[in-house]
Structure 1
Amino acid sequence: DSEGNVLGLLKGSEGIQTVALDAHLDTVFPEGTDVKVKIKNDTLYAPGIGDDTRGLTMLLTLLETLKTNQIQPKHNVLFVGSVGEEGLGDLRGVKHLFREGGPRIDSWIAIDGGSIGRVNNKALGSYRYRVTFKGPGGHSWGAFGLANPHHALGEAISNFVAAADQYTAQGPKTSYNVGVISGGTSINSVPFESSMQIDIRSVEPSRLDAMEALLEEATQIALDHQNGIKRRGPDLTLEVEKIGNRPSGELPDTLPFVQRTLAATTYFGTTPYLTRGSTNSNIPISKGIPAVTIGRGGNGGKAHSLDEWWINEEGHKAIQLALVLLLSEAGMD
């Protein structure tokens, strides 16, 4: 589609409703990364081999199984290879699907994560920001006295952490993290730009808004203070840009779709457990649409690293579980 998702529609005999089965196409690695699979004994090594290449192979296997065995679902099945799940992608692929005027989707199954016992029916929301201070910059000696963007950023971080630590010490769990700091050209230059990227997460949407207010106040105080103590030159400028918005939400444990997922997991000899996470299912869950994220099975590790690995230990159970869950939703003739 226009956002980059790869879609395949298997029409149902009745076709009244549509069940979506999703795995994400993107990885955390930059374009050009060597992703050739290396096999050592029973272990597969490659960046993204589990997250979410394994999910994509499951999706294609399920489609092939339905077609080869002439299994006709009653409802439509939309197979989705989605984009923008990782990093700053902000779930853009799934947001596009659930936009106003998008395709009808009545329930959603995402394949992501490890254990098949995990049933994710709760969405962990997050806000992400890029905060940037800018100034004229100059020589560390000759331009001394100019407002320094790094000084402002450092003060802003100190202000924010102090306020955020106090706020998050009580109430529903909320986290914050300054994950990236950048700017400057050399040790003897007043920087012309200083920026940071911040990740804020919470189980409660209103607390994300409260943390946003704390961030805006902390950065504004730093800006005003640094501009107030400069000895010459123009003022610093400040931009607080929201670069990510993953909505929170949760589905009741008693929802029939969730209960069917738990029952199917139990059938395959695994004790299921309900979880909260940040996955493509955030979007349908936030809209009240039945959705779960299930594991890809097997055994893997070192996700989001160049040494990621995966072993096909009873991996067939994950495929069978996904098939049972899919047909319990889509029905069959």
Structure 2
Amino acid sequence: MIFRERTKEPLPLARIATLAQHRGVHRAFAWLHLQEPRISSWQQELVAIPAPPFGEGERAAWFADRMRELGLSDVHIDEAGNALGLLRPDDGQSHVALLSAHLDTVFSADTELDIRQDESLLIGPGISDNGAGLAGLLALAAAIRHAELQPVNNILFAANVGEEAEGNLRGMRHLFTGSPFARRICGTLALEGAGTEIVVTRALGSRRFRVEITGPGGHAWTDSAVANPIVALSTAIAEISSRTLPARPRTTLNVGEIRGGTSVTAVAQSAEATFDLRSTDAGQLLLLEVQLYRAVEDAVMAANRAGSGEKLQAQITLIGDRPAAELDPKSRLLETVRAVDRHLRLRTEERLGSTDANIPLSLGLEAVAIGAGGLAGGVHTTNEWHDTRGRDLALRRVLLILLDLCGHLEAGNEVAADSPGAGEP
């Protein structure tokens, strides 16, 4: 199926209604409905491959193999570790629409990945976040290929690295700053977990730090006067945690990890903790960062005044920085999402979140994170579950948004040039 651009772009709802009537789109819809067992099989197979932050290589290779099997073009793993494939060969100049899903999980490489199935219910670590998104990415690529859809703008399918934890969105950063596609991406849909009506249009900003306090250490009895890094770190944590954070703009602080010491009979030589700071307001985020630095400095100074011998030292390292941003309420992409939801009789549920969409949104580009269907729970636990019932409705939603993002076109005998309505990077 080949499309041709309208001479004058109609209103969003009319565009979507016309698009949804194409026979090729109906063939793609049918594939998504009938091939649920295959989609579920992909999901279980990929989730059984460990993919901790900075350890996504084996899963990326598996994904690239599936892309080749589906007939995508220019399939490769880029310098950052992203598995990439295009709907058709890239000409190196034209715009591309990006459909992505992150490969990594929050689980360590040695986590037991016992994936269980009970009819439509899938259970296991990472089965929804982001097994659902990755399976949806393959399903949409397969449906588009099956239906022989050829939108004006090419589609870049990306299974990207580095969304979770200390990955710091490195896969998306590379795509938008260091890749050959950086200046050509006309819009982004990031598949994120389950959900049918959810769309993330506001990017939650966050700053993540590792605080390490070191000292001479010693024996618990003979060196009891030596300043203790664990005590100093605990004092800093108690101080920063005692502060009342604003509900509006919502601001949060979490101490995610803490470790230190070697024995109950020893004064520790080091202690460290990780801090996650989030806010919907950049000013509040900066203020909380200043308060963290002050709490650590004050705690170390107090411990050094009270102790004897060698002084404590503190080091604060930035380990994550996710920029805050927001999709323009009048953007073409958001108009399209609302029109598709109205066409499918869904309720658009706009949300705030920290996702891969943070990067393009922070660059002023149109992007959303969007659910890949079904229901989920226990996310980021080993008992995570995903009920895949209704998945095809969510994927139909994504397909219509994606095709409209590529340029709304009519049936014709050839592919038209880039549509000015398709979005400019």
Picking from 85, 88, 100, the partner of 1:8 is: 85
Q: 1:93 matched to which residue of 2?
A: 171
**Retained in 1: the 8 A contact 2:132–2:194?**
no
Residue number in structure 2 paired with 1:303: 379
Equivalent residue for 1:123? 203
Please, which of 159, 182, 191 is the counterpart of residue 259 of structure 2? 182
Question: What is the identity, as a one-letter code, of the residue corresponding to 1:289?
Answer: L
Looking at structure 1, the residues matched to 98 and 210 of structure 2 have their Cα atoms a distance apart, in angstroms, of: 33
Counterpart of 1:67 in structure 2 is 145
Superposition deviation, residue 314 in structure 1: 1.2
Q: CA deviation at 1:170?
A: 6.3
Distance 1:36 1:177 in 2: 29
For residue 422 of structure 2, what is the aligned residue in structure 1?
Answer: none
Structure 2 residue aligned with 1:106, among 175, 186, 194? 186
Structure 1: which 5+ runs fail to align?
none
**In structure 2, which of residues 123, 128, 135 is the aligned counterpart of residue 45 of structure 1?**
123
| 3-state SS of 1:129 partner | strand
1:201 aligned partner: 278
Match of 2:46 in 1: none
Question: Alignment partner for residue 323 of structure 2, among 242, 247, 253?
Answer: 247
Equivalent pairs, count: 329
- Whether the 8 Å CA contact 1:300–1:308 is kept in 2: the answer is yes
In the alignment, the residues of structure 2 paired with residue 172 and residue 102 of structure 1 have an alpha-carbon distance, to the nearest angstrom, of 38
2:158 equivalent among 69, 80, 98: 80
**How many angstroms apart in 2 are the aligned matches of 1:102 and 1:149?**
47
1:169 and 2:246 matched:
yes
Q: Tell me the equivalent position of 2:354.
A: 278
Q: Is the 8 A contact 1:203 1:248 kept in 2?
A: yes
Amino acid at match of 2:363: K
After superposition, the CA RMSD in angstroms is 1.8
> 1-side partners of 2:114 and 2:300: how far apart?
48
Q: How far apart, CA to CA, are the structure 2 residues paired with 1:34 and 1:193?
A: 31
Instruction: Output the amino acid matched with 1:329.
Output: L
Counterpart residue type for residue 181 of structure 1: I
Contact 1:132 1:239 in 2 (8 A): yes
Partner of 1:318: 394
Name whichever of 135-144 and 202-211 sits farther off: 202-211
| DSSP-derived class of the 2:130 partner | helix
Identity score, percent: 36
Using the TM superposition, give the Cα deviation of residue 206 of structure 1 relative to its aligned residue in structure 2, in angstroms. 2.3
- Counterpart of 2:304 in structure 1 is 227
Q: Distance in 2 between matches of 1:261 and 1:3?
A: 30
Cα distance in structure 2, aligned partners of 1:214 and 1:112 = 33
- Normalised to the residue count of structure 1, the TM-score between the two structures is 0.94
* Aligned amino acid, residue 135 of structure 2: T
- Give 2:150's aligned amino acid: Q
Q: Using the TM superposition, give the Cα deviation of residue 144 of structure 1 relative to its aligned residue in structure 2, in angstroms.
A: 1.4
1:307 maps to a residue whose letter is N
Greater shift, 290-299 or 169-178, is seen at 169-178
- Deviations 1:72-130 (Å, cap 9, x if unpaired)? 12112110101111122111111111125652322110111332111111000100111
CA contact (8 A) 1:116 1:265 kept: no
Q: Residue 171 of structure 1: CA displacement?
A: 4.8
Amino acid of the structure 1 residue aligned with 2:79: S
CA distance in 2 between counterparts of 1:13 and 1:266 reads 33
**Scaled by the length of structure 2, what TM-score is found?**
0.74
Query: What is the distance in 2 between the residues matched to 1:43 and 1:117?
Result: 20
Give the conservation status (yes or no) of the 8 Å contact 2:132–2:193: no
The alpha-carbon deviation at position 265 of structure 1 amounts to: 2.0
Q: Which runs of 4+ in 1 moved over 4 A?
A: 12-15
Q: 2:312 aligns with which of 236, 244, 258?
A: 236
Equivalent-residue separation in structure 2 for 1:44 and 1:171 (angstroms): 37
**Partner letter of residue 295 of structure 1?**
G
Name the residue aligned to 2:100: 22
Measured in 1, the distance between the counterparts of 2:342 and 2:143 equals: 22
1:302/1:308 contact within 8 Å kept: yes
Q: In the superposition, relative to structure 1, how do residues 13 and 244 fare at CA in structure 2: closer, same or farther (>3 Å)?
A: closer
Contact 1:176 1:198 in 2 (8 A): yes
Question: For structure 1, which segment, 275-284 or 15-24, has the greater mean C-alpha deviation from structure 2 after superposition?
Answer: 15-24
